[in-house]
Amino acid sequence: MGTFKKVVGILLLMLILFLAFMMFGSYGDGYRAGALTKVAKKGIIFKTNEGEMYTATVINSSGNAGDADGSGVINNIWYFSIKNDPTLLLKLENALLNGHRVKVHYHQKFWKLFWIGDSKYVVDDVEILKANPEAESN
């Protein structure tokens, strides 16, 4: 019976370490920029903050991303979860309500964790982007 308890204890410890790694570890991180289209609180038992960002890529006539020559735009909506931080949430809500473009920093988790959010991407920082002075002068 002592060996059984040791095996169960080791398996339980491995499970706890695995869950801790999945919760605090990340697969990658990076930045995305665009215009926020939604910031909301969702969930029945576990309330999480979720967002959507409109990102668009301008393509040139050769089909490559780059300078606009009027040939096309690829639309994209990026779905993300928001770290449980009231200051971050307030910045995102203000940017949404005032129509500012933002640059967000995110961590990509290995998979969705229902108590963290509905997405593998968890935003942990935001920067409000200044308006493009060239676009304002035209």
Q: Tell me the CATH number at 96.
A: 2.40.50.140
> Is the pLDDT assigned to residue 136 strictly greater than 80?
no
- The residue range of the domain holding 62 is 27-137
pLDDT in tens, 66-110: 555 555 566 789 999 999 999 999 999 999 999 999 999 999 988
Question: Is the entire prediction scored with pTM above 0.85?
Answer: no
> Is the pLDDT assigned to residue 26 strictly greater than 60?
yes
What does the block give as tokens for 104? 């967000």
Query: Would you state the pLDDT for residue 19?
Result: 83
SS (H, E, C) 80-104: EEECCCHHHHHHHHHHHHHCCEEEE
124 domain-assigned:
yes
12 domain-assigned:
no
Q: Count the domains in the chain.
A: 1
The whole-number average pLDDT for the span 24-28 is 84
Chain centroid, CA 37 distance in Å? 13
Give the number of residues written for the chain. Answer: 138
